[in-house]
Amino acid sequence: MRYLLQRLGFYILAFLVAVTINFFLPRMMPGDPIQSFLARLAQNGGQITPETVTALESLYGYSSSTPLWQQFFSYLYSILNGEWGISTRFFQPVVDVLGRGMLWTLLLVGSFLVLSYTLTTLGGIWVAWKRGSRIDSFVTVGSVVVSSIPAVVMALLLYFIFASDLGWFPTGYAYDPALDPAFTWEFISSVLYHLALPLMAMVLLAMGNIMGMRSNMINQLGEDFIVMGWAKGVPDRNVMLNYGARNAILPVVTAFAMSVGGIFAGSLIIEIIFNYPGIGQIMFQGMVARDYPLIQGYLLLMTLMVLSANMIADVLLLALDPRLRTAVL
């Protein structure tokens, strides 16, 4: 329990540091969100008065005449109260805007995590057990080649071949716009159909993780307790799964927690190319519009996701590794 409380304190400190960076980073970007909004307002024939500027600065929490340290503490207070500001791009609360896209991103990323880590973990265990065979050579070489392709290139190849040219998959959106969201097979099948191609791109890019699991498994197969298991007549299946795989999977759990941020960053590229309406697509529009509140909300959300994933990994490692429990408890 003491170990978990120490880790929790560390994550709280990391969150505060991330919030500080989250506040200052968008303000280092060129441009001014208020002036950008006023420019769009002027193009649409709106009248700009000093009262309008003052009201906008109060609404969005940004003022060139207010010291940054005052803006920072106001921002921190609003974050702790669950008020993430108003988007200057969508004219809605940031929480509502991100919540609208988060559903689709969680569907995409969640499906990717389950599918990719299942395939790469089981695949790595299997090819390690069959090391030196033809299937081992084919899988390992193929996984390295596929995973070496840049995410942008992989996504564009799949998009132009299977969506644009062959027309086997849709070219955008999360479901058929003609359908109303409902818990029906027609709607669910449409969602899965639109999800298939971006999910395929992300899973292919993750196939290189087979090599990591393969290496971990091969290292475990050379340990004394594996040899002892064989000497005692333990069935090969039990030696492979209960003896070798249980220990080989520990580094995978840690790598999974560390890769959460990169996975969401990669989904941003995938969502933009496939026009998938997740938070990556929303973030891109916010960056173009210099939408500080939305950018800060997105970065804050990613911070919470990464820290939560690492905290879950700490708990899983305690459950899976008795040596760690002995050392810290």
Domain boundaries, the chain: 19-80, 102-328
CA pair distance 172, 159, nearest whole angstrom: 10
Tens place of pLDDT per residue across the chain (329 aa): 676 777 777 878 888 888 888 777 766 666 566 666 666 666 666 666 676 666 666 665 566 666 777 778 877 877 777 777 777 777 788 888 888 888 888 888 888 888 887 888 787 777 777 777 777 778 778 877 887 788 788 888 888 888 888 888 888 777 777 777 777 888 888 888 888 888 888 888 877 777 777 777 777 666 666 666 666 666 656 666 665 666 666 666 666 666 666 676 667 788 888 888 888 788 888 777 777 778 878 888 878 877 877 777 777 767 666 666 565 55
Closest listed residue to residue 251, CA positions, set 93, 105, 82, 121: 121
Count of C-beta atoms within a 10 Å radius of residue 172: 14
Rounded to the nearest angstrom, the gap between the alpha carbon of residue 61 and the centroid of all alpha carbons in its chain is 28
| Cα atoms in the Cβ-side hemisphere of radius 13 Å centred on 111 | 17
Task: Reply yes or no on domain 102-328 having CATH 1.10.3720.10.
Answer: yes
Specify the pTM.
0.70
Can you say whether residue 218 is alpha, beta or left, with left for phi > 0 and alpha for psi between -120 and 50 degrees?
alpha
